[in-house]
Amino acid sequence: MGQVEGKVVFVTGAARGMGAAEAQLLAREGASVVVADILEQQAEETAARIRSDGATAAAVALDVTSEQAWAAAIERARQQFGRIDALVNNAGVSYRVGLMHGRLDDWNRVIAINLTGPMLGTRAVVPVMRDGGGGSIVNVSSVAGLTGYPAAAYSVSKWGIRGLSKVSALELAPFGIRVNSIHPGLIETPMLDDAPDVMKLAFADGTPAGRAGQPEEVAALVLFLCSDGSSFINGAEIAVDGGFTAGGAMRGVLNGIEAAAGAPVSLRTTDT
């Protein structure tokens, strides 16, 4: 049996990229998956691929910034599958502009999608999840929610997800609902398509793993947090970043020293 056999999992932003990888892995591991996205046609295509592999999936249109859209999507999932055991708040947008130069409309849009969306989704799914005996909510944040990051609105929204997850974990624990946040680093997804190459190279260089991650590597963590194997994990923040937040800045320092020296740096320990 799969890790989430018999569960119903609702995934936002699941039409492509990381969300699609999460939906596909959850389905392979036995879940009935609701593929939710504002990109209706692509969401249906992802659901169709899952069904073609013999698993169960349904696509729903969802604008995560709309309370009414959330209510309709959750009700549709409840009517079709009878329950919802896990919600993955994966939908998000990037906006690589600093604090002093961004437009207010763009700031509000990023916050609405990246932070208000997960809040609305949590409020919409809790009654169904509670009536089913509990469940798991996974909020997809970013390493930008663990460190300072020059994309102001994006970073603030991802820090907000971290706080939302902890508040939700405390409030929803009596209902048997766990809430955790995950913090991907540089991941090869469509969101990176418009990022400058120099930024991608710098991130990879500052990652001890020395490379970008793959959507499937994030999906594996989502799968675990949706499964009963993570039953005692609640209110946690888990990085899936190749070690970036563990010491990416120091790696950059060492690389700079090596470049200046023209040779690898030998770090020796001394007894004191």
Question: How far are the Cα atoms of 133, 136, 144, 167, 177 from residue 84, in angstroms, in the given order?
Answer: 10, 9, 29, 21, 11
User: Helix (H) and strand (E) counts for the chain?
Assistant: 9, 7
The CA R_g of the chain, rounded to the nearest whole Å, is 19
Nearest to 26 by CA among 44, 6, 48: 6
Give, in degrees to the nearest 5, the angle at Cα 216 between 233 and 209: 85
Has 149 been annotated as catalytic?
A: no
Instruction: Please give the Cα distance from 36 to 31 (Å, whole number).
Output: 15
Q: Which listed residue (10, 107, 154, 224) is catalytic?
A: 154
Give the residue numbers annotated as catalytic, written as ranges: 154
